[in-house]
């Protein structure tokens, strides 16, 4: 008998070729996530992927596999000989591995996927339960209604014993849903927005705006660190870095102070759209959430949308800050996000920003600017970084 990690994939609603592409892609990502470990064997058996490796590597491997989108469950399992005796021996080995030293209750659930296997479950269950009681009866009692430990046995091409299941993120493997350009600030929200769309299969690149020398190198390092943390889930991230200062100065000179935020946002989107044309992104992504700050009103969002033709995806639009923070903590970006460095937008934050901008007024203000030239000049001085996961 041998230990394996089993991986179950989600999106059961997908059918036919879609499902096959989805699984092939997810399997490739899973195997890539554990490439630093010695994999002795891997194969598929009835929808699950089984990976054989050293038992002591399992915890670290499972942490790595958990970051792959498209997975619902991961569990260590013992592959045993497909016979009653094989399963009985396996159960003893499996329970020993758990090192149980306190009273507990259990239930065995056999899933006879291979319908040709004999004996059938009603006959098999008592035999297997009996083995557990005979060998571990001083700690284990049967409880079929609310057992502390469910021991699953799947009978497929081989037979597998497992009990603990670690939950994966679900979602779709990266690359199934096109390419998105994430407007990445140093805040809490945008990394979460990028994460959520990556989870739905979007391949994510990042676009960051700074206002050097008003914003600092350390502020920039912080954003790179956030991109790195995100890349643990998305894989390598291309990050475009652009100095927004010349545009902000121009707005400051020629437009109303209260419109600074909304006007800079429209420039950010235009620059994002221009890069999308060059490098083939299908959508822009932001961390905007309704009502959070002055520019994030329905009117504000709508005026921002009008700056470009391409879609702007806002996965956080209906989320509360507490919900966003919860995800940020879970994915490991929160601690970096709260480091105190100024953002390009806080440098030029108006005292009383417009909360209900009208497109007419905003366009009128922009008529004082050479929009196209400002966008081009900003892009000409752009820097590009490739951010790799650890």
Catalog residues that contact ligand ATP under the rule CB under 6 A. Answer: 183-185, 187-190, 207-209, 268, 286-288, 292-293, 295, 343-345
Is residue 316 within 8 Å of residue 192, measured between CB atoms? yes
**CB of residue 362 vs ligand ATP: minimum separation in angstroms?**
16
Binders of Mg ion: how many residues, by CB under 5 A?
3
Q: What is the DSSP string of 188-212?
A: SHHHHHHHHHHHBT-EEEEEEEE-T
Of the listed pieces 148-156, 185-193, 256-264, 273-281, which binds Mg ion according to CB under 5 A?
185-193
CB under 5 to 8 A by kind: which of Mg ion, ligand ATP, none does 344 bind? ligand ATP
SS3 316: coil
- Closest residue to ligand ATP, Cβ-based? 187
- 185 belongs to the binding site for Mg ion (CB under 5 A): yes
**CB of residue 324 vs Mg ion: minimum separation in angstroms?**
12
Compare residues 33 and 264 and give the one whose CB is closer to ligand ATP.
264
Is residue 103 within 8 Å of residue 95, measured between CB atoms? no
Residue 36 is encoded by which pair of tokens?
Answer: 């630093």
SS3 74: strand
What are the C-alpha distances in Å from 313 to residues 180, 181, 273? 9, 10, 13
Locate tokens 């929009």: which residue? 371
Compare residues 76 and 180 and give the one whose CB is closer to ligand ATP.
180
Angle at 317 between CA 308 and CA 290, to 5 degrees: 95
Among 90, 171, 187, 235, the residue binding Mg ion under the rule CB under 5 A is 187
**CB of residue 376 vs ligand ATP: minimum separation in angstroms?**
19
State the Cα–Cα distance between residues 210 and 348, nearest whole angstrom. 11
**CB of residue 124 vs ligand ATP: minimum separation in angstroms?**
55
Compare residues 95 and 197 and give the one whose CB is closer to Mg ion.
197
The residues that touch Mg ion, with contacts defined as CB under 5 A, are: 185, 187, 343
């Amino acid at each position: 008998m041998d230990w394996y990690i089993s991986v179950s994939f989600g999106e059961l609603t997908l059918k036919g070729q879609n499902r096959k592409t989805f699984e092939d892609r997810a399997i490739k990502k899973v195997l890539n996530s554990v490439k630093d470990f010695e994999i002795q064997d891997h194969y598929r058996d009835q929808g699950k992927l089984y990976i054989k490796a050293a038992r002591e590597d399992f915890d670290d491997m499972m942490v790595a596999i958990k970051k792959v989108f498209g997975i619902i469950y991961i569990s260590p399992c013992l592959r045993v000989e497909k016979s009653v005796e094989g399963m009985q021996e396996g159960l003893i080995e499996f329970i020993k591995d758990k090192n149980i030293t306190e009273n507990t209750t259990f239930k065995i659930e056999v899933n006879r996927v291979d319908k040709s296997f004999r004996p059938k479950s009603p006959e098999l269950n008592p035999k297997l339960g009996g083995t557990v009681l005979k060998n571990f009866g001083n700690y284990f009692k049967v409880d079929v209604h609310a057992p502390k430990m469910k021991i699953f046995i799947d009978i497929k091409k081989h037979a597998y014993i497992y009990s603990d299941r670690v939950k994966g993120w679900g979602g779709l493997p990266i690359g199934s849903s096109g390419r998105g350009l994430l407007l990445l600030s140093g805040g809490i929200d945008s990394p979460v927005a990028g994460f959520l769309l990556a989870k739905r299969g979007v391949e994510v690149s990042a676009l960051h705006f700074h206002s050097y020398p008003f914003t600092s190198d350390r502020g920039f390092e912080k954003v790179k660190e956030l991109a790195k943390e995100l890349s643990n889930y998305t894989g390598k991230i291309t990050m475009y870095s652009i100095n927004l200062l010349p545009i902000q100065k121009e707005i400051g000179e020629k437009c109303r102070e209260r419109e600074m935020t909304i006007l800079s946002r429209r420039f950010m989107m235009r620059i994002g759209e221009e890069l999308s044309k060059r490098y083939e992104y299908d959508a822009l992504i932001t961390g905007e959430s309704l009502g959070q700050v002055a520019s994030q009103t329905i009117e504000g969002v709508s005026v921002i949308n009008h700056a470009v033709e391409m879609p702007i995806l806002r996965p956080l639009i209906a989320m509360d800050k507490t919900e966003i923070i919860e995800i940020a903590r879970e994915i490991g970006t929160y601690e970096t996000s709260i480091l105190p460095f100024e953002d390009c937008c806080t440098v030029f934050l108006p005292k009383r920003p417009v909360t209900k901008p009208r497109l007419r007024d905003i366009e009128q203000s922009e008529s004082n600017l050479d929009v196209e030239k400002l966008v081009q000049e900003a892009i000409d001085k752009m820097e590009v970084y490739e951010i790799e996961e650890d």
